[in-house]
A and B are shown apart, each in its own frame.
Chain A
């Protein structure tokens, strides 16, 4: 009897959540559309106002941060090794474009495929432990990738792979033109962002959130949480690879910087600063961090100290991040 009433209670609670969840998109859709529309306009106009390579860098890192956020924000998994997917894909893309002479779209897809496989391997290992161990395992595994990139022949060691040709998109559009390149990068970003949006707003995304909130309960409801976590990990790794491969073509360079633990930390910071678990947060965070870094590069201020200080401040007093804070203020979840 007691169990029955409990089940009933849970059911009511669930159905309430569902009603709320169903009502929300309706209320928010106009506002979302407006925000997205403005964002899109800014993105379309940006290369005429700002230095295109800079905006492309922002977009690549924004996609990278969105991919990372899919794990931490929606599945509650803190990966401290996402640089392995970002930088790994950059190497594969650069190698395919330069040595094998493949087109940009194929090169990027190859890089992304590599990251997906790497993500499958790392994810399968890392999801065997939870919480803090998950972070340490991903960090250690990505450090392994760093050492391999340092020692393998094709990565060029300290020099990296330089002078990567951007090539012609689908054999037609010349990407050496910085505007064409820009709109290509924007398209890549939008596709990646749409994938994240779709994943978060799907039943799959709901299960991820359930795992984040209470994994034992998700298990007791009959979900095989390992599979969901692994799928989220692979998806996140692939998107990080998409960002990394694109970045390799933008800068025509794949280097060790992209696979260091500092890079993994940077993407954590972007997401934290922008707002974990919000869709736009990582984009905002990436834009701020990239801008800040290019500004600091011109001064004599030590970049890691500033980055570290922002980290500390965010963790201590600003855990919701910018977008999270705005949403909390304007009463939106």
Chain B
């Protein structure tokens, strides 16, 4: 616990003359949840995609401490190594579950697929794991053979989370995990995520524009604007005593219920 898990240094991504994100640096520690907030176009998703190797950054480095303790530059890995890392030790939860699920295979197969990718071949074990994980995300066992096409938005999102967590990753990336869900469905998902993150000691980077989600899930918060990090600190501190003009605007714009 006394070493970071991920180290991002001076990460930038530009699209020609336009800045996606610029000069982002941070360390992420095991078990730590970092929220990245900012309005649409602030570069938070670009940053997430660059850190998670879904996008090639223009400059900067991303280093990850592997299970054997060795630090690796993730962009210096071979394509195969990187793919293996993303299937085993990392997870990525998309805002739209259809981007992270295979919509035309069963729920059980969606969960089991990641286990097979890491070499599990025993059908009984895979199915038992799938049932266990569906239960943890509160999907009834009798839905295991249904395709996610037949699921509601909230169920699809829970299935996507189960698919990502079945290999017991150490780091998970989430892009607006509660975006587009009803508030009641959102509350259930947040509670579930909160429990899983703390039980499994997961480190997570959560991109969200919802400050309440950030408050509930994260330890630390980064505020982005125009591709740059303009404020960074303990989540409570950023929300209770915002310093940057833009963060003050963001916090003061929350509607009280």
Partners in one complex: no
